[in-house]
Amino acid sequence: VKQEGRGALRFFEASMNAQLQARLLLGQELAHAVERGELVLHYQPIVNGVTGEVETFEALIRWMHPTRGMVPPIQFIPLAEETGLIDGIGRWVIDTACREAAGWPHPWRVSVNVSPKQFRQTDVCAAIGDALEANGIEPARVVVEVTEGILIDDADKAVAILNRLREMGVRIALDDFGTGYSSLSYLQLFQFDKFKIDKSFVNRLGEDDRALTLTRTIVNLGHNLGLQVTAEGVETQAQLDVLRSLGCDQIQGYLVARPAPIDAFTDLDRLRTKA
Ligand code: C2E
Ligand code: CA
Ligand code: CA
Ligand code: CA
């Protein structure tokens, strides 16, 4: 190895080391985030496609870090999954969402995300059951959003858990529909309550005929299977117009509102007229 090459390797090792150190530090800080009250839930409204009325609020976690500022979930949920912290954080999300929703001035539904790794690492049924009981919220007001990734490893076990959740009275939404790599055969295994069309389809509506065809097909597939269809990531009026013409049941996206603390949504008439 030439001198230069050795220097590059040493530099590479040093920067890997720095990355690892940074990750370790973030992991240690995350371990304390729950007890220090640094985690918060923001909410994004999901409105009726026809009337524009708010039906559900999706809970989206944020980490209010004392020095780093607001850390988005993409930057710490994977770390939480690797370190096992996701169990405690996931329980905190479910409990907090149910507690906050129980105090809302209107019985909107509340939707919580459960990642595939979280689904495997946590007893989701116990977490939901505890939160329902502790907060006295109607099970029918709670929606659990999962992705098809939960069905990839042990589908039988995943379906058994989904069925138990269903028996408890909560609803199950299939998030990011159309982005996974499994076949449609898993739709034979479980009757979801709704599909959420991934924003990668919605983004391209109006730009490309294929996106339109795919979106129409997903809406029709959902309806033919007897479930509701929500479009996520709706940012423009043109996208909204197309989705409404396709009969999409619910709309979610920056066009209606960005995720924010629940107190930001006092002016619900405005939301109603926007959609
Ligand atoms: P997701 O469940 O697919 O959530 C939708 C994401 O799209 C959210 O990002 C939301 O802020 C964003 N979004 C909403 N409307 C628009 C729009 O019109 N345009 C664009 N470009 N984006 C929009 P966020 O809050 O950063 O969350 C990212 C992901 O992190 C979520 O994707 C979900 O997979 C995960 N996540 C969030 N909260 C939780 C949680 O409490 N638990 C778990 N396990 N995962 C969570
Ligand atoms: Ca979601
Ligand atoms: Ca999604
Ligand atoms: Ca997503």
* Dihedral sign computed on CA atoms, order 222, 223, 229, 231: positive
3-state secondary structure 100-151: HHHCCCCCCEEEEECCHHHHHHCCHHHHHHHHHHHHCCCHHHEEEEECHHHH
pLDDT exceeds 80 at position 70: yes
Separation between Cα atoms, residue 102 and residue 97, nearest integer Å: 8
* CA 254 – ligand 1 centroid, Å: 12
In ligand 1, the atom with minimum distance to the C-alpha of 86 is 44
Q: CB of 78 closer than 6 A to ligand 1?
A: no
Instruction: Considering every ligand atom shown, identify the ligand nearest to the alpha carbon of residue 118 and give its number.
Output: 1
pLDDT of 16 = 75
Find the mean pLDDT for residues 175-192.
88
pTM listed for this prediction: 0.93
Burial class (CB in 10 A: 0-12, 13-18, 19+), 121: middle
Q: For residue range 249-271, list pLDDT tens digits in order.
A: 999 999 999 999 999 997 665 55
pLDDT of 272 = 54
Q: CB of 93 closer than 6 A to ligand 1?
A: yes
* CA 198 – ligand 4 centroid, Å: 7
* CA 28 – ligand 4 centroid, Å: 26
Pairing of strands 54-65, 194-197: unpaired
Q: CB of 142 closer than 6 A to ligand 1?
A: no
* Dihedral sign computed on CA atoms, order 244, 106, 169, 117: positive
Separation between Cα atoms, residue 30 and residue 89, nearest integer Å: 9
Cβ proximity of 121 and 127 under 8 Å: no
Find the mean pLDDT for residues 164-182.
92
The complex scores an ipTM of 0.98
Compare 7 and 44 and report the one with higher pLDDT. Answer: 44
Output the average pLDDT for the chain: 92
* CA 176 – ligand 3 centroid, Å: 4
Cβ proximity of 215 and 165 under 8 Å: no
pLDDT of 19 = 86
Q: CB of 45 closer than 6 A to ligand 1?
A: no
* Closest C-alpha to 62, from 265, 262, 267, 266: 262
Query: How many percent of the chain have pLDDT more than 90?
Result: 81
Backbone dihedral region for residue 69 (phi beyond 0: left; psi -120 to 50: alpha; all else: beta): left
Separation between Cα atoms, residue 262 and residue 275, nearest integer Å: 19
Query: How many percent of the chain have pLDDT more than 70?
Result: 95
